[in-house]
Amino acid sequence: MLRRFAGAIIAAATMIALSGCVSPDRVSTNPTDTPRWDAGLSLSTPSPAALPPTPADFVIGVVVTEQKCYGSAGCNYRYTINPQYVSSKPLPEKTTVVFKVTGGDQDPVGNFTIDADGTATFDRETGISGPEGADLQATVTQILAGR
């Protein structure tokens, strides 16, 4: 009776030990080939196409449309922007780009939205005061993808 019990235990232990084995038709001929438990999953970074735009993907030109100067009091400028998307990555359906205009007496913050086909929507003209001959520059400060 003890032999049968011991035999049953050995048989059960053998089955448990062999349950993790691979059948002969699945054994690799390459001994360095190890099983992959992450099949179908990737731990790598997303492809560039999936990455959202960054501030470096945009260039914003400032076009002065009107300038009125008042001597030592400085000038009032009217300007519009010329936003350009300079990346080869596809744009999300909608992206809001926040920017700052420098070169005037203050640094106003503006924004525009751009959709997946590259069409930008923004205020046509904005005003700023500054010294005569001010060099107005726009710098992207934030990207809000999906908004």
pLDDT by residue (tens digit) across 27-53?
A: 444 445 444 444 455 555 555 556 889
The model's pLDDT over 48-91, given as tens digits with 9 standing for 90+, comes to: 556 889 999 999 999 999 999 999 999 999 999 999 999 999 99
Instruction: Report the alpha-carbon distance of residue 62 to residue 110 in Å, rounded.
Output: 12
Radius of gyration over every alpha carbon of the chain, rounded to an integer in angstroms: 33
Mean pLDDT of 1-22: 48
Q: Per this entry, what is the length of the chain?
A: 147
Q: Please state, in angstroms and as integers, the Cα–Cα distance from residue 120 to each residue in 47, 123, 129, following that order.
A: 25, 10, 25
Mean pLDDT of 9-37: 47
The model's pLDDT over 106-138, given as tens digits with 9 standing for 90+, comes to: 999 999 999 999 999 987 889 999 999 999 999
pLDDT of residue 75: 96
- Residues 144, 123: contact at Cβ < 8 Å? no
Q: DSSP assignment of the chain, as one string?
A: -HHHHHHHHHHHHHHHHHTTPPPGGG--SSTT----TTTT---SPPPGGGSPP-GGGEEEEEEEEEEEE-GGG-EEEEEEEEEEE--SSPPPSEEEEEEEEESSSS--EEEEEEETT--EE--S-EEEEE-TT---EEEEEEEEET-
Mean pLDDT of 14-36: 46
- Residues 95, 113: contact at Cβ < 8 Å? yes
